[in-house]
Amino acid sequence: MYYSHKKNGSLTKLSPPRHFVLVILVISNTLLVIPQTKNTRAAVSEQLSFSKPLVFKWQYETREIIDLTPEIHGDFIFVPLSKGNLLSLRLQEGNLVWKSEIGGEVTASPSADGRSVYVASREEQVEGSTASTASEGAVRALGYLSGVTNWLSKLPRPIVGTLAANEHSVFGYSQEGHVYAIRKVDGQLLWVRKYDRAFTSAPLVNNDRLYLGSGDGTLYSLDVNTGAIIWRYKTGGAISSNVSVSGRTICVGSADYHAYGLSLNDGRLLWRYRTGGRVQSVASTPRGFLITSLDNFVYLISPLRGNRVWKRLLMGRVAAPPVTTLDGALFAPLSGEECVVLELKSGRRLNSVYVGDGNNTSAAPLISGHILLLTTRKGLYALTDRL
């Protein structure tokens, strides 16, 4: 793991041994790097702070990383890999707990609760004498502590993107526009809805509603129990970002260069804000919505009126939503050598983490308690603000 910093106007890269960490101190706008020996999931008030020095905690090396975000639940991380593999790692140490070889290809970011890990996959099936193939889908519930399959639910087409969940059900969609609800306890298909256009945003469950954005620019609010449409709103382009909620406002980004703030209750337009490019991601923070677009800028927007608080340029495009704390947000551009931390209050640069040129993925960075998790082409890196 490397950290980059400015010192006397030049860029310095450091590679710590596995038994060493780096403490980054900011003194008079100069970063000093001091190696030190290494000596939970927490409430938000005890969460990692980007304004504190970040130190290397552990690294799990693998060349099987794919562009899907891992799932953190409790003391474990669940990591989707190529060739239909899923890993369980300990959050605090990064050591392997189990590896499940489900076969085919993992097609969506997993979801977990204290009982099971829910994984969507694809398996190519040969059809008829012409030897044509079709993708058959499946959702599995793997044992939380063992990785053994508890149940398997077959689907005509694979779920893609991200699995969403509430206490009772798992939700997902296929590329063909099917939306599925599957019961957690036994894998029974509760309902399925078919739409004419494919969905393009990660599904979001908020209370008794499921939110989905489609390729024709429509944001849907569905009843989680039946799949019935509660409301819909049509934007001016394909929904190109995830969906995020702050208070009674839901925000989504469109290919028409706008971010839309809608009423969570009835889908009424509250505001829209124009960026300089196709909106890539949206994230809710204590100070407003963070919006990234293909103009390489980050915008902080007020959730009530859609006013811009600040705007900052990044040295690369960001596909995944940033990970945020009370004081800052970390962005992982697809190009460049580092992840960048901006202060929420002002947008000024707080810190950076060097990951190496071309190593960032579309997987979103994650935080659990005092641990920051980054998914790179070379594996997983964990950092912490606790020395």
311 and 205 in a single domain? The answer is yes
Domain region containing 182: 96-194
Q: Which of 106, 120, 110, 158 is nearest to 136 (CA)?
A: 158
> Does the CA dihedral 163-318-72-244 come out positive or negative?
negative
Close Cβ partners of 276 (under 8 Å, ≥ 6 residues apart):
257, 293, 294, 295, 297
What CATH number is attached to the domain comprising 176?
A: 2.40.128.630
The pLDDT tens digits of the residues spanning 241-270 come to 999 999 999 999 999 999 999 999 999 999
The pLDDT tens digits of the residues spanning 272-301 come to 999 999 999 999 999 999 999 999 999 999
217 and 186 in a single domain? The answer is no
What is the DSSP track for 79-130?
A: EEEGGGEEEEEETTT--EEEEEE--SEE-EE-EE-SSEEEEEEEEEEEETTT
What does the pLDDT read at residue 125? 64
Close Cβ partners of 312 (under 8 Å, ≥ 6 residues apart):
297, 298, 342, 347, 348
The pLDDT tens digits of the residues spanning 173-220 come to 999 999 999 999 999 999 999 998 889 899 999 999 999 999 999 999
What does the pLDDT read at residue 16? 42
147 and 220 in a single domain? The answer is no
253 and 172 in a single domain? The answer is no
pLDDT at 63 over 60: yes
Residue 54 maps to a domain: no
207 and 296 in a single domain? The answer is yes
163 and 204 in a single domain? The answer is no
Residue 56 maps to a domain: no
What does the pLDDT read at residue 3? 41
pTM of the prediction? Answer: 0.84
Q: Is 45 helix (H, G, I), strand (E, B) or coil?
A: helix
Question: For the chain, what is the domain count?
Answer: 2
